[in-house]
Homo-oligomer: A and B are copies of this chain.
Amino acid sequence: MSVWALKVVGLGAVALTLIVELVCWLRRRPDTPVKEVLFFPTEVACVEHIITPTSLSPCSCPLRHGIENSFSRLIRHIMSVSSSLDLCVFSFSNTLLSRAVLVLHSRGIAVRVLTDKDYSLITGSQIGFLRKAGICVRYDSVAVHMHHKFAVADGRRLITGSMNWTLTAVQNNKENVLITEEPDLVRPFIQEFQRLWEANDPAQLAIA
């Protein structure tokens, strides 16, 4: 075999290896973003170790411990936020979800909450506690119901579904929560949140 023939075979082998690597890399990429679906109801188990992992003493709450379920997965997604959480929720009365959001705020994470005016006043609503802690809250009082139940974490992860952030929803209802980082699905929610946030700016509403 001539030197040229050897060169062609060698070049072909290198090119083939590179193509296979490239194809594998391109095929892997779409699977990397988070895609998860959670269904409820589920038992509300203790999530203290997720909310405050640095806690020194073992938790003494009456809830069951060591359970990994849809609720703990949801709490894990919330606690994994590193820079911002935009929450747009109709009804928010779940104290554990409220604690998770308060811990994020205490870490310096930018939390914005948009909620329904009427439902923010019902017994057990956590909205007042979030406000008192210094979290920026805006109210929609135009729609019959500001019925969304979505959150955008770090500007790239969408948490959305049928479930309000209440105890009944988690424990008693048939509900779903879908989590995705697909940009084409997340982007419209980011834009809608910003649109509603600006539309319900109290300063602008006062002028109007």
Contacts and interface: CB of A to CB of B under 8 A. Distances in A.
A176 B163 contact: no
A26 interface: yes
Interface string A1-39: 010110110011001000100110011001000010101
Given A7-B8, A178-B178, A144 B172 contact: yes
A105 interface: no
Interface in A154-176: 160-163, 168-169, 172-176
Given A8-B7, A182-B182, A162 B176 contact: no
B37 A185 contact: yes
Q: How many copies does the complex hold?
A: 2
A145 interface: yes
B147 A39 contact: no
Given A23-B26, A26-B26, A182-B35, A145 B160 contact: no
A89 to B, nearest CB: 10
Contacts of A84: none
B174 A196 contact: yes
A143 interface: yes
Contact of A8 (B11, B27, B163, B168): B11
Given A8-B7, A39-B192, A185-B178, A173 B146 contact: yes
Q: Which 10 A-B pairs have the closest CB atoms?
A: A4-B4, A37-B188, A144-B172, A35-B184, A147-B173, A145-B173, A26-B26, A143-B174, A146-B174, A30-B30
